[in-house]
C-alpha cells in the first residue's frame, strides 16, 4: 500500500474517532461509516486491488493433505525481479521448483521475524509507558508452542483415523 494512501486511510480512522463513533471498533464498522460519510469511494483500481487482496487471502487459506497426513499450505508467494520490476508471484508447493520455494520460505520467515520484532517493541512500550501492573512477559521462542500444536494435531489425526470400538451391551 502506498504511504500516501495509507495516511489517507489513517486519517479516516482519526475522523471516525473524532466523530465520537464507538471505539474500539471493527474495521467493517469504520469502513461502513467512512462510506456513509462519503470519505471513501472505490475507483476501478481500488476494486481490482481489493479483489487481488481477496484472491491472495484465499490462496493463503488453501491447504492439501500430504502423503504423511499433514495439512500443508498449497500456495506460496515470492517477491522476485522480472525484467527490472519487483513482482509478487504465487506458486503451488506441489509444482514449483526448489529455487522459487526457497525464496518464498525465506521471505515468509523474514515477515514473521518482523512481526515478532514489532510485537516486542509494542509490549516493551506498553510496559514502560502504560502498564500499571507487573510487566507483560513475552517469549519469542516458539519451539514449545510448535511442538505442542504438532502433538495435538497428531493426537487428533489418530483419534479421527481410529476405528470405532464396538459398544458392549450389558444385561
Residue 48 in any domain: the answer is: no
Give the range of the structural domain holding residue 98, as residue numbers without chain letter. Answer: 53-154
Burial degree of 104 (CB within 10 A; 0-12, 13-18, 19+): buried
20 shares its domain with 99:
no
Of the candidates 116, 110, 108, which has an alpha carbon nearest to the alpha carbon of residue 77?
108
Total number of domains in the chain: 2
Rounded CA Rg of the chain: 23
List, for residues 78-114, the tens digit of each pLDDT value.
Answer: 999 999 999 999 999 999 999 999 999 999 999 999 9
Based on the domain organization, do 36 and 57 belong to the same domain? Answer: no
- Whether omega for the bond prior to residue 157 falls within 30 degrees of 0, making it cis, is no
- How far the first Cα of the chain sits from its last, in Å, is 70
pLDDT in tens, 10-54: 999 999 999 999 999 999 999 999 999 999 888 898 899 999 999
Number of helical H runs and strand E runs in the chain: 5, 4
Amino acid at each position: 500500500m502506498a504511504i500516501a494512501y495509507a495516511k489517507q486511510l489513517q486519517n479516516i480512522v482519526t475522523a471516525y474517532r473524532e466523530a465520537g463513533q464507538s471505539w474500539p471498533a471493527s474495521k467493517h464498522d469504520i469502513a461502513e461509516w467512512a462510506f456513509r460519510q462519503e470519505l471513501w469511494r472505490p475507483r476501478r483500481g481500488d476494486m481490482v486491488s481489493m479483489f487481488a487482496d481477496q484472491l491472495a487471502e484465499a490462496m493463503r487459506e488453501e491447504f492439501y493433505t500430504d502423503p504423511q497426513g499433514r495439512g500443508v499450505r498449497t500456495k506460496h508467494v515470492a517477491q522476485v525481479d522480472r525484467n527490472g520490476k519487483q513482482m509478487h508471484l504465487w506458486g503451488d508447493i506441489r509444482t514449483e521448483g526448489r529455487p522459487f520455494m526457497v525464496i518464498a520460505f525465506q521471505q515468509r520467515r523474514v515477515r514473521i521475524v518482523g512481526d515478532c520484532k514489532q510485537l516486542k517493541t509494542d509490549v516493551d512500550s506498553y510496559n514502560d509507558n502504560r502498564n500499571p501492573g507487573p510487566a507483560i512477559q513475552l517469549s519469542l521462542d516458539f519451539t514449545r508452542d510448535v511442538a505442542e500444536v504438532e502433538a495435538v494435531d497428531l493426537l487428533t489425526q489418530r483419534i479421527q483415523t481410529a476405528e470405532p470400538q464396538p459398544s458392549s451391551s450389558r444385561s
